[in-house]
């Protein structure tokens, strides 16, 4: 464990804190210390950022999460971005059904799935992701992985267009400050472009079950058979 | 150099177009007693067909791509251009001061030999080369029989080969070292008229402003050149020199066309023979219009104006030159 002071450095829209013990609701404000006993919920179009000595966490809209400690995040729904240059970062990520542990340094996005698991998207990383059934999977920048099931395991992995992701991610673009790892993200994009063979006319969506993943096609409609 | 186009990729950062919707939504405290009761937080906009709307996610668009397993890459290109030149032989008066057209056909290849992660930077070694035919013609111009004879005698083929090491940093800067070999042969009698080794150190920075991309570069070049129109190299070493050059290029996409104006300034210092005291400043203002029909097929229009201000040599090497032309480019990448 490192420094425990965590505070809200940026907030846009409505962010509510929910105390499970007495069912009370309050509103979070900029500069509030993070209370590890509370749930934090963001309204539609609302986002906030938590900074600590070693990391930045950005929580997207329609998210519901609990920041149990600096190295333990529970996310029920929605998405968050985590960013740390600290090489010995340890972060336990839990969702409604699944759990994974990140070790190393880097910037990644966690996006909840309807099946209770989550997508893990490393933008730039030097580290590993461990689940119950797959310890120490080395992370590859730009490779989306599905963390599903309980006990948790890694589902399919997909290389995704990092440039497009960054251009469209509100977790990147709708915050006033630039990420401290932006240069490393730029290099990850550069390497991906050097290795690029082609792009599929499809977008990855949600996973309603452990075995299915929505892939949304676009482009030319194939001829009728 | 073709390989430098790869540098541009990393700095196309980032224009942010998503507006924020700050409409709040209250959460029901009664549903927060247990994690299983938190389903209300998953409320998301549903489309009429019941499917989830991808735009609801803050994480960003996730488009699958296919990547090569290794770091080896190969690029091949063919260019064919027809260019009007008002001063093709770069002279200031005299019998060679007349307009011409130049038809060039160029075959280019370059190979990336690996991608080496250095932590703060990525190293990529390259090798490559090109072969180009340059044929002066009387297209666009009225040429006398004598001038057509000059066209024939001055047409040439050129060969280039290079090795390079490129270091790309995440902040948009890149540094490269290049050794290149260039050789020119006159077409008419296969005379080797020029042989040049160039050693280059270059720094390049690419960044974005609004919807435009700006590329700045500065380079130091040492030329070891043997040049003689008769091919016997009597005047060898007179073209040895060093250059300091810098350029600024802007790239902007307007509709389907990329527009790229570029200004280059270059200072050269010669050291040998009749050029012992020669120095020169060269200014070049160029404009490139590029229309990409497919990923591998481009139409291009190019124009440039060059001023060369030379002093210290036995000959008058001042000249001005205007070029304008168009061509096609076919390319493939593996």
Are the beta carbons of A191 and B12 separated by less than 8 Å? no
- Comparing A1-5, A87-91, A155-159, B250-254, the range with the smallest average pLDDT is A1-5
Cα separation, A118 vs A128, in Å, equals: 16
What is the predicted pLDDT for the residue at B274? 76
Residue of A25, A65, A66, A168 to mutate when probing chain B, most B C-beta within 10 A: A168
Question: What is the CATH topology of the domain spanning B2-14+64-333?
Answer: Porin (2.40.160)
CA distance B12 to chain A (A): 8
Are the beta carbons of A174 and B18 separated by less than 8 Å? yes
What is the predicted pLDDT for the residue at B2? 39
**Helices within B35-175 (DSSP H only):** 145-154
What is the predicted pLDDT for the residue at A192? 92
- Comparing A146-160, A202-216, B43-57, the range with the smallest average pLDDT is B43-57
| Domains of chain A by residue range | 7-217
Residue of A10, A29, A121, A191 to mutate when probing chain B, most B C-beta within 10 A: A191
| Residue A82: pLDDT band with limits 50, 70, 90 | very high
The reply to whether A13 touches chain B by the CB within 8 Å rule is yes
pLDDT at A203 over 80: yes
pLDDT averaged per 10 residues, chain B (length 334): 39 29 27 28 38 65 90 93 87 78 95 90 95 89 79 89 94 93 90 90 90 94 80 67 95 93 95 82 96 92 93 75 94 88
Answer whether CATH 1.10.10.10 is correct for domain A7-217: no
How big is chain A by its Cα radius of gyration, in Å? 18
Name the burial class of residue B2, with classes exposed (0-12), middle (13-18) and buried (19+) by CB atoms within 10 angstroms of its CB: middle
What is the predicted pLDDT for the residue at B50? 44
DSSP per residue, B103-137 = EEEEEEEEEEE--EE-SSEEEEEEEEEEEEEEEEE
For chain B, the average pLDDT equals 80
Phi, psi of A173 (to 5 degrees): -90, -25
Supply B315's token pair: 């000959």
Q: Which residue has the higher pLDDT, B8 or A216?
A: A216
Range list of β-strands (E), chain B: 65-67, 72-85, 100-113, 116-117, 121-137, 156-169, 173-186, 192-209, 212-227, 241-254, 257-270, 279-294, 297-311, 319-333
CA distance A4 to chain B (A): 25
Q: Which residue has the higher pLDDT, B3 or A99?
A: A99
pLDDT 10s digits, B194-212: 889 999 999 999 888 888 9
Pairing of strands A72-77, A79-94: parallel
Interface of A with B in 16-55 (CB under 8 A): 16, 18, 20, 23-25, 39, 41, 43-47
CB B326 within 8 A of CB B299: yes
pLDDT 10s digits, A106-134: 999 999 999 999 999 999 999 999 999 88
The label of the residue with tokens 């200072």 reads B267
CB A81 within 8 A of CB A65: no
| Domains of chain B by residue range | 2-14+64-333
What is the predicted pLDDT for the residue at A102? 96
What is the predicted pLDDT for the residue at B164? 96
What is the predicted pLDDT for the residue at B21? 27
CB B13 within 8 A of CB B214: no
Are the beta carbons of B58 and A190 separated by less than 8 Å? no
A160: nearest CB among B13, B65, B168:
B65
Cα separation, B166 vs B228, in Å, equals: 33
CB A86 within 8 A of CB A71: no
């Amino acid at each position: 464990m490192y420094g425990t002071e965590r505070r809200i450095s940026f907030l846009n829209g409505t962010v509510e804190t929910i105390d499970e013990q007495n069912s009370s609701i309050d509103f979070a404000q900029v500069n509030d210390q993070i209370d590890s006993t509370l749930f934090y919920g963001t309204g539609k179009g609302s986002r906030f950022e938590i900074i600590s000595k070693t990391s930045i966490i950005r929580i997207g809209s329609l998210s519901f999460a609990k920041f149990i400690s600096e190295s333990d995040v529970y996310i029920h729904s929605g998405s968050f971005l985590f960013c740390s240059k600290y090489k010995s970062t340890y972060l336990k990520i839990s969702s409604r059904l699944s759990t994974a542990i990140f070790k190393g340094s880097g910037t990644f996005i966690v996006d909840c799935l309807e099946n209770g698991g989550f997508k893990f998207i490393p933008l730039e990383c030097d580290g590993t992701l461990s689940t119950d059934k797959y310890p120490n999977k080395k992370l590859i920048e730009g490779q989306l992985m599905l963390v599903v099931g309980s006990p948790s395991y890694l589902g399919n992995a997909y290389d995704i267009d990092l440039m497009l992701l960054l251009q469209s991610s509100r977790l990147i673009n709708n915050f006033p400050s630039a990420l401290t790892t932006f240069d490393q993200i730029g290099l990850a994009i550069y390497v991906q472009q050097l290795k690029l063979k082609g792009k599929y006319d499809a977008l990855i969506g949600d996973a309603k079950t452990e075995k299915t993943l929505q892939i949304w096609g676009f482009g030319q409609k194939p001829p009728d058979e | 150099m073709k390989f430098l186009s790869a540098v541009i990729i990393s700095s196309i950062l980032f224009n942010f177009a998503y507006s924020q919707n700050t409409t709040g939504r209250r959460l029901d405290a009664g549903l927060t007693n247990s994690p299983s009761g938190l389903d209300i937080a998953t409320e998301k906009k549903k489309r009429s067909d019941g499917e989830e709307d991808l735009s609801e996610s803050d994480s960003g668009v996730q488009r699958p791509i296919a990547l090569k397993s290794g770091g080896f890459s190969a690029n091949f290109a063919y260019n064919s251009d027809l260019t009007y030149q008002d001063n093709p032989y770069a002279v200031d008066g005299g019998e060679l001061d007349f307009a011409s057209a130049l038809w060039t056909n160029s075959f280019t290849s370059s190979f990336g030999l690996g991608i080496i992660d250095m932590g703060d930077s990525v190293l990529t070694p390259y090798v490559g080369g090109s072969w180009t035919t340059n044929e002066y013609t009387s297209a666009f111009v009225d040429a006398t029989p004598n001038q057509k004879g000059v066209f024939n005698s001055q047409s040439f083929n050129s060969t280039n080969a290079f090795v390079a090491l490129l270091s790309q940093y995440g902040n948009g800067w890149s540094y490269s070292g290049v050794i290149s070999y260039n050789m020119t042969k006159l077409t008419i009698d296969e005379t080797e008229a020029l042989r040049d080794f160039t050693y280059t150190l270059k720094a390049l920075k690419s960044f974005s402003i609004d919807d435009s991309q700006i590329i700045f570069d500065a380079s130091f070049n040492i030329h070891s050149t043997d040049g003689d129109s008769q091919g016997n190299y009597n005047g060898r070493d007179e073209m040895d020199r060093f250059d300091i050059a810098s350029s600024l290029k802007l790239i902007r996409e307007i509709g389907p066309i990329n527009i790229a104006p570029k200004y280059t300034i270059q200072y050269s210092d010669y050291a040998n023979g009749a050029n012992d005291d020669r120095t020169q400043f060269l200014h070049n203002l160029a404009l490139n219009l590029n229309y990409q029909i497919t990923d591998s097929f481009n139409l291009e229009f190019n124009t440039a104006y060059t001023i060369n201000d030379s002093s210290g040599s036995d000959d008058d090497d001042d000249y001005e030159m205007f070029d304008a032309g168009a061509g096609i480019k076919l390319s493939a990448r593996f």
